[in-house]
Each structure stands twice: as structure tokens, then as C-alpha cells.
Amino acid sequence: MKNIERCIIHLDLDAFFASVEQRDRPELRGRPVLVGGSSQRGVVWAASYEARPFGVHSAMPIAQALRLCPEAVVLPVRMNEYRKASRAVFTIFSRFTDCIEPLSIDEAFLDVSASLRLFGSGQAIACQIREAVRRETNLTLSAGIAPNKFLAKLASEAAKPDGLKEIFPEEIDAFLLTLPVKALWGVGAVTAQKLATLGVSRVAELRRLKREFLLRTFGASGGLLYDLARGIDARPVESDSSIKSVGHEDTYATDLSDPVVIQRELLGLSERVAQRLRSKNLQGRRVTVKVKYADFSVVTRSRTLAAGLSNGGEIFGIATELLSQTEAGRRPLRLLGVSLATLEVLGTGQSELFAAPRRARLSRLDQAVDQLRERFGDQRVVKGSLLAGRKEPSDAEQGTDGD
Ligand SMILES: [Mg+2]
């Protein structure tokens, strides 16, 4: 399997949240639009392309964005509308392949290697998807086509907005050698800084370093750097069905025995899991809490819900119930974990029907939060998803809509 040439498409909706607003309110088309909530204190979740020449970008405080672009129209976040649009777009993707890895609400990798005989080349498939999305949802998206995920994503970035770009095998070198090292997958500020001290700021310069040297300097990720600089990336496209669960666990240097500290850790884990779920555009119906006692014995408690969860506060509510079925707090813990399984695409299912129990869970949550707050003070406890869980803009840390 490994050596068979793959065809990967990266698809990314253009200025997604802002584009949905401009689609639904034609008077906003051609005007700078910022999606970012109702208060001046919020941040920009998405900026339309008309706003970007002013230097406005997502994650910037609204007040700052308005100083740069005073004529911008600021709109509140309508997450339900964006979810609806996202579902329609992902449904279109699914006509062409089952192998879809959602990266966020507006972005996905498709492995179309097995679809080429049926639908034509990668480029033909990307064209058909772009046309269908435009026709059926009135939104535009950009497509990158390449033999692997890393290059496909770079290609779609280069194609934005409303474009399509394919990187053919013989073009890989020419394309990569012009890029800064920061463009490489996984190269953040720290790695970039370390490379800079070695006199490396561009991929072309990175190419001159030997694999052994990179491994010595960066550990295992040095090998990754070596490969990426050559356009090599073997990561498979991981479709929903291949991801069975999303979880997070922590092992503690000192055993936990204070119930309030345990609650606080559980809250942090719940939020991290929620964030990861949403980053993959998923929700989960089965919540599992895992504890390992000081004597290394392990206990798990699970519950399957009628509706999927993706909100840190709600997950915390269920996790708290499950934890109460263990001896946590009475026996010291060395490990705590939260995971969600029975995954489905975010926003599907019958959540409306279960609105009442959800509210009950949230009020139990309020109590738990209040207890924590008393103990640790606001700053410690009041974190994004918990607070936001009660209102429409429930996904503050889902991140902003990059492009
Ligand atoms: Mg996008």
C-alpha cells in the first residue's frame, strides 16, 4: 500500500463565517465584514476578504480591527447557521469518497485515490466539488491537490480565495524551495527560532542539513523536518470511522486526593477533549472517565447519551457524575482521564429533543463551577467553553475561522 501514489485533496471554505453572513445578507456583499460577537471586547472570529487589506485578521480584538477598518460591519457569531452550512458542504464531499478527515468546521482532507476511476483525476474531482458547493450552498472554497496531506494543504493556501491548485510530483521541489520554514507542518515559533540560530529560515536552507544532524538537534521531529523539506509526508487521511475515540489523560507527579483539585483537573481534561473533538468537527455520545488509584488499579465508568456532546462544560457535567461512581477523593489518584467515543459529525443527532436534560446538566454544572470558583477564584475556573456553553457562541475555543 505504502508505495502506491495517493491523491489527496485539501478543501477549505473561504472566510467561512463571514461568507455565510454575506450570503445570507446580500447588502453586505463587497463590504468588509467581521464576525466576532456582540461586544467591543470580543475578538474577530472571521474577517471577509474585503476587510483583510486593512490588516484585519482573525483572533484580533474587535476594537483594534475597527481602528484599522472603521467601516467594517461587525456581526454576532451564528454558530448554528455555520454548522448547517458545514454539514451541507461535508455531505457534498461524501459523494466523492468515504475517506474524509475533517480538520475543523470548514476544512477537510479527502483521500480520493480510490475514486479516480469513477470520477476522473484529482483535479476533476476538486472542480466538481467546488461547483457543487457553489451551486448548492452559495459558498466558495479553495482546493489543493497533491500526493500527500502536507502538500495538499500548502496548495490550497496558495490557491485562496476561491481557487484550485495542484502540485504535481515534478513541481514539488520548485514549490517547496521558495517557502519559509514556518510553512512546514509542525514548525512553530520555537522550532523556527531554533532553526534561525542555525542560519536556516527557508526550506532551501533546511535542505542542506543532514538527517543525522537534524535528529541530533531536534530529536524525532528532526526526521520529520528532513522529510517535509523534501515534500515527503506519509500520514494517512484519518476518516471519522477510523477515529474511534477522542480522549485525554494526565498522570500526576503527586497523587490527587483533594476532591476540589480532582474536579479542577476533570474540568481541564473535559475542556481539552471538547476542543479536540470540535477541531475534528466531531461530537461524541459515549463519555468515559478513567481513574488509576495510587495502587495502580484502574477503574473506568461510562455512560452513553442520546445526543452527542462537544462542549467542555457539558462533558464535565457527565464526567462529574461518572467520577462520583468511583472512589476518587476517598482514595488517592495517580491518573485521571476523560474520553468520548461513539463519534459523529458535529451538530448531527437529536439535540433539540433533549434540550431539557441538557439544561439540567448545565445547572448541576453551574453548582460545580461555583464551588470551584469559591476555592480558586474566577480566573482559575472561568474558562472559555464553560462560560460559553450556555449561550449561542458556544465555541470560543473552536478557534477562529482562519481562511
Ligand atoms: Mg477556511
- 14 among annotated binding-site residues: no
Q: For residue 334, what is the domain's CATH number? A: 3.30.1490.100
Q: Ligand 1 mean position to 13 CA, how many Å?
A: 4
Q: 218 and 325: one domain?
A: no
Q: Beta-carbon neighbour count of residue 24 at 10 Å? A: 12
Confidence (pLDDT) at 151: 97
Q: 254 and 200: one domain?
A: no
Model's pTM, two decimal places? 0.67
Distance CA 352, CA 296 (A): 41
In angstroms, what is the C-alpha Rg of the chain? 23
- 403 among annotated binding-site residues: no
Confidence (pLDDT) at 252: 86
Distance CA 153, CA 179 (A): 14
Q: Ligand 1 mean position to 38 CA, how many Å?
A: 22
Confidence (pLDDT) at 281: 79
Q: 19 and 154: one domain?
A: yes
Confidence (pLDDT) at 241: 66
Tell me the catalytic residues.
107
Q: 66 and 200: one domain?
A: no
Confidence (pLDDT) at 302: 93
* Cell numbers that stand for 54 in this block: 486593512
Confidence (pLDDT) at 267: 95
Confidence (pLDDT) at 344: 82
In a domain, 215, yes or no: yes
Confidence (pLDDT) at 390: 31
* Cell numbers that stand for 294 in this block: 495510587
Q: 9 and 157: one domain?
A: yes
**Could you report the average pLDDT of every consecutive run of 10 residues in the chain (403 residues)?**
76 96 97 82 89 92 94 91 92 94 91 93 98 98 97 96 96 94 89 94 96 93 93 88 83 88 95 87 91 89 90 94 94 94 74 43 49 46 36 34 52
Q: Ligand 1 mean position to 16 CA, how many Å?
A: 5
Q: 206 and 305: one domain?
A: no
In a domain, 255, yes or no: yes
Q: Ligand 1 mean position to 167 CA, how many Å?
A: 20
Q: 344 and 375: one domain?
A: yes
Confidence (pLDDT) at 103: 85
Task: Show the domain range for 16.
Answer: 1-167
Q: 112 and 193: one domain?
A: no
Q: 137 and 200: one domain?
A: no
Confidence (pLDDT) at 342: 87
Distance CA 296, CA 283 (A): 31
Q: 203 and 296: one domain?
A: no
Q: 153 and 272: one domain?
A: no
Q: 223 and 356: one domain?
A: no
